[in-house]
């Protein structure tokens, strides 16, 4: 009887050992823990050259992207789109280019530095930024030509400057700005510092600085709306990361961040 019990116990142990071997084999060929629940494979630094007006929204998008991809890091070079296009065409290492106008994107793609076709992801519209409380009582473009009114504009080669010229021409308003800035943030800063009485900037920039400035809407801005294209660059050091970041910008979550910042759908 005792021999029978020992034999049964030995058979049970062999059976358990066999089950253990099968579990180990299965574990070796099955996906790693978390792979089926969306574990990210995006790694390394993703360098994004982006129009200055995208600063606040892209910074937030980067935080979201990095939270979902903990092995990835997004770094930005924010500037006027014309300057960024020049840097890219001169060989500056970058993975993604997001421009505030198609013309500057075309400069890059015509030089053969884009990978694929750029995608328009948002639109933006100008407002007149004035100091909080609008001390000069500005109501429209014509008021910018009033005596003693100092105005900042973006340079014409910059998208916000090209849009400003188009709006001013449509309103038949001729003014002489006291300064021409190389990106929209610099023009807005002149208002925030009290160096000018008004500046033509994007609606999104005025919204981001609502504590310091008021944004005055004007009808002519509807005819000078800028479209923003984005593209993965041909010589991207981190092509996989670049594609993932662009996909994130175009996702529902990315588009919501942009809408929250005041951008319009394309």
| Res. 233: pLDDT tops 70 | yes
Q: Are residues 195 and 134 in the same domain?
A: yes
pTM of the model: 0.83
Three-state DSSP class for 198? Answer: strand
Lowest mean pLDDT among 11-20, 48-57, 77-86, 116-125: 11-20
List, for residues 134-144, the tens digit of each pLDDT value.
Answer: 999 999 999 99
Q: Which domain holds residue 177?
A: 126-223
- 168 in Cβ contact with 162 (< 8 Å): no
Residue 148, exposed/middle/buried by CB under 10 A (0-12, 13-18, 19+)?
Answer: exposed
CATH number at residue 245: 3.40.190.10
Q: Are residues 203 and 90 in the same domain?
A: no
Q: Indicate whether 64 and 191 sit together in one domain.
A: no
Structure confidence at residue 39 as a pLDDT band (50, 70, 90): low
Shared domain for 144 and 168, answered yes or no, is yes
In a domain, 250, yes or no: yes
Spacing of C-alpha 182 from chain mean position: 19
Q: Is residue 234 part of a domain?
A: yes
Q: Are residues 133 and 210 in the same domain?
A: yes
- Is 198 a domain residue? yes
Distances (CA, A) of 166 to 126, 182, 200, 221: 11, 17, 12, 9
The CA-CA-CA angle for residues 60, 125, 215, to 5°, reads 85
Residue 195 lies in a domain: yes
Does residue 163 lie within any of the structural domains? Answer: yes
Half-sphere exposure of 76 (CA within 13 A, CB side): 20
Residue 41's pLDDT band, with cuts at 50, 70 and 90, is confident
Share of the chain above pLDDT 90, in %: 85
Structure confidence by residue, pLDDT tens digits, 150-194: 999 999 999 999 999 999 999 999 999 999 999 999 999 999 999
Q: How many domains does the chain have?
A: 2
Query: Which pLDDT tens digit goes with each residue over 9-38?
Result: 333 333 333 333 333 232 332 222 222 234
Cβ atoms of 113 and 85 closer than 8 Å: no
Which residues are within 8 A (CB) of 107 and not within 5 positions of it... i.e. 6 or more apart? 82, 85, 86, 89
């Amino acid at each position: 009887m005792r021999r029978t019990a020992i034999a049964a116990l030995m058979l049970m142990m062999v059976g358990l050992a066999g089950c253990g071997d099968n579990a180990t084999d299965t574990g070796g060929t099955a996906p790693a823990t978390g792979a089926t629940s969306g574990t990210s494979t995006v790694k390394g630094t993703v360098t994004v050259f982006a129009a200055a007006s995208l600063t606040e929204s892209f910074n937030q998008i980067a935080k979201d992207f990095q939270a979902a991809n903990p092995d990835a890091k997004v770094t930005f070079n924010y500037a006027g789109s014309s300057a960024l296009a020049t840097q890219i065409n001169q060989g500056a290492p970058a993975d993604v280019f997001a421009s505030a106008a198609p013309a500057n994107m075309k400069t890059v793609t015509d030089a053969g530095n884009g990978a694929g076709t750029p995608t328009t992801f948002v639109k933006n519209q100008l407002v007149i930024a004035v100091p909080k409380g609008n001390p000069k009582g500005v109501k429209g473009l014509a008021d910018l030509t009033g005596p003693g009114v100092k105005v900042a504009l973006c340079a014409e080669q910059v998208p916000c400057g090209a849009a400003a010229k188009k709006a001013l021409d449509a309103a038949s308003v001729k003014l002489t700005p006291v300064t021409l800035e190389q990106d929209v943030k610099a023009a807005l800063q002149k208002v925030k510092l009290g160096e000018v009485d008004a500046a033509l900037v994007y609606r999104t920039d005025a919204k981001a600085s609502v504590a310091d400035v008021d944004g005055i809407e004007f009808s002519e801005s509807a005819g000078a709306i800028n479209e923003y294209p984005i593209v993965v660059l041909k010589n991207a050091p981190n092509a996989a990361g670049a594609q993932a970041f662009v996909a994130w910008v175009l996702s529902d979550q990315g588009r919501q961040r942009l809408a929250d910042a005041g951008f319009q759908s394309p």
